[in-house]
Amino acid sequence: MTESVNAVQRSVRGPSCWRGGYNVLMTLFMAALVSLAAPAWSSAPVADKTAEQRVQEISDDVLALIEEARGYAKDDPERFYREFTALLDPAVDFVSFARSVMAVHYREATPEQRQRFADTFKWGLVRTYALALTEFSNGTIRVLPATQPPRNPRMHSVRMEVVTPSGNVYPVQYAMGLGPDGAWRVRNIIVNGVNIGLTYRGQFAGAMKDPANGGSLDKVIDGWSDMLKAEADELEETLSSKQGATGQ
Q: CATH number for the domain including 86?
A: 3.10.450.710
Alpha carbons 248 and 108: distance in angstroms, whole number: 49
**pTM of the full structure:** 0.73
Alpha carbons 159 and 142: distance in angstroms, whole number: 9
pLDDT, mean of each 10-residue run, the chain (248 residues): 52 38 50 52 56 66 71 83 78 87 95 93 76 65 80 87 81 87 85 86 91 93 79 67 59
Q: Which helix (H) or strand (E) holds 178?
A: strand 169-178
Residue 21: what pLDDT? 33
**Could you tell me which of 204, 174, 209 has the C-alpha nearest to residue 114?**
204
Residue 115: what pLDDT? 93
Q: Is there a contact between 142 and 170 (Cβ–Cβ < 8 Å)?
A: no
Alpha carbons 167 and 163: distance in angstroms, whole number: 6
Residue 43: what pLDDT? 46
Domain around 89: 2-246
Residue 107: what pLDDT? 94
As a 3-state breakdown, the chain gives helix, strand, coil percent values, each rounded to 5, of 55, 15, 30
Residue 161: what pLDDT? 85
Domains contained in the chain, number = 1
Residue 174: what pLDDT? 85
Residue 29: what pLDDT? 61
Residue 22: what pLDDT? 34
Residue 63: what pLDDT? 64
Residue 240: what pLDDT? 64
Residue 32: what pLDDT? 61
Q: What is the mean pLDDT of the chain?
A: 74
Alpha carbons 96 and 117: distance in angstroms, whole number: 11
Alpha carbons 100 and 53: distance in angstroms, whole number: 25
